[in-house]
Amino acid sequence: MSMKMCGKVGWSVSDLVTTADFLGVTPSALMDDTILSKAEAGYAKSAEYGVFAEKPGALVGAGSPRFLVSPFNPDAPIEGRISGAAKGALAGFVPSGVPSGSSFPSMPSKHDGIGVPGRSQAHETLKTMTTVIMRTSEGDITIDLFDDKAPNTVANFLGLATGEKEWADPYTGQPSHGKFYNGLTFHRIIKQFMIQGGCPLGTGGPGYEFDDEIDPSLKFDKPYLLAMANAGLRRGMDGKVHGTNGSQFFITTVPTPWLDGHHTIFGEVADDASKKVVDKLEAVETDPMDRPLEPAVILSVDVAE
């Protein structure tokens, strides 16, 4: 389906209202020529990278939460009109600061105090946790991992970080036990949203995928949360729908409640000094594709003693 087909041409009032509700916007926003043109441009750009699909099992992409903010649901009736990937692309191209009077929702700021409790989610919910230090070109980020809430995801992250878990070299296809994250970059940075890393090429992962591990008690209600990037859900050869988590992760820089239930939260930046490093990474200059102009490097991910 093209944006034109689900845009100005052939929309009934019911389609307009239903699709607007599905996208989380008002119907009037979809009739705004400026907004619609931005969405169409975004759809075209995303299509060049193969992130759109029209049937179960065909959804592909780089796992960016910007494009894929919700998983592909083959059972949802609205999917016949607009795919889960298209929803993600449209939501991703909503401007973060829109002119006064616009009906389009704006992104909340990490400075507005929305949903930011005084203590770490980890300290509220866990008796024990693993702490890691992500050493980057901009400084060290201390992160508390939610072992009790997302044990499989934490084990995968630690296994890749330490080299204990086998992964496939993307260049040779050969198995490796090297420390996966050492020397990788934050390959996608979107201001007032998130910083994303964890892939040698920025388009894949470690050579395997695993399911989401969503804990309903963990919400994207504040910044500085560590979560898994994914490419939505895919239907496997067994006919079942599976998750697409691998190695890519992101750290939010604002509250992102629209991601609730779609991405596994498995950690939180632990202290103010580390949050300032995340802010520095978020502030680096990027190109139109959200890639840093100068490499933002992950030097290592070390388990704290």
pLDDT, residue 52, reads: 37
More confident residue, 185 or 70: 185
Considering the domain boundaries, does residue 97 fall inside one? no
Question: Mean pLDDT, to the nearest integer, of 113-129?
Answer: 45
Question: Mean pLDDT, to the nearest integer, of 137-162?
Answer: 97
Q: Bridge partners of 194?
A: 190, 252
Same domain, 141 and 85: no
Residue 34: is its pLDDT beyond 50? yes
Measured CA to CA in angstroms, residue 224 lies from 157, 185, 246, 250, 253 at distances of: 17, 18, 20, 9, 6
pLDDT, residue 295, reads: 94
Considering the domain boundaries, does residue 246 fall inside one? yes
Same domain, 178 and 246: yes
- Given CA atoms 127, 129, 133, 134 in this order, what sign does their dihedral have? negative
pLDDT confidence band for 200 (50 / 70 / 90): confident
Residue 48: is its pLDDT beyond 60? no
Considering the domain boundaries, does residue 290 fall inside one? yes
Question: Mean pLDDT, to the nearest integer, of 228-245?
Answer: 90
pLDDT tens column, 53-73:
332 222 233 344 433 333 333
Considering the domain boundaries, does residue 103 fall inside one? no
Same domain, 60 and 127: no
Q: How crowded is the C-beta side of 68, counted as CA atoms within 13 Å? A: 28
What's the number of domains the chain is made of? 2
pLDDT, residue 300, reads: 97
Distance CA 73, CA 56 (A): 8
Query: Tokens 């200059």 belong to which residue?
Result: 285
Determine phi and psi for 43, rounding to 5 degrees.
-60, -45
**Cβ-based neighbour number of residue 1 at 10 Å:** 12
Residue 12: is its pLDDT beyond 80? no
Considering the domain boundaries, does residue 110 fall inside one? no
Same domain, 137 and 264: yes
Strand ranges inside 213-292, DSSP E: 225-228, 234-235, 241-242, 249-252, 265-269
Q: Bridge partners of 252?
A: 194
- Interhelix angle 84-92/13-23, rounded to 10 degrees, is 70
Range of the domain at 37: 13-92
Amino acid at 128: T
Considering the domain boundaries, does residue 71 fall inside one? yes
pLDDT, residue 38, reads: 52
pLDDT, residue 305, reads: 80
In percent, the amount of the chain with pLDDT more than 70 equals 57
Same domain, 277 and 169: yes
pLDDT, residue 236, reads: 83
Domain containing 237 — which CATH number? 2.40.100.10
In the three-class reduction of DSSP (H, G, I as helix; E, B as strand; rest coil), residue 224 is classed as: coil
pLDDT, residue 14, reads: 52
Mean pLDDT of the chain: 72
Q: What is the CA radius of gyration of the chain?
A: 19
Same domain, 130 and 83: no
- Interhelix angle 33-48/84-92, rounded to 10 degrees, is 120
Same domain, 152 and 290: yes
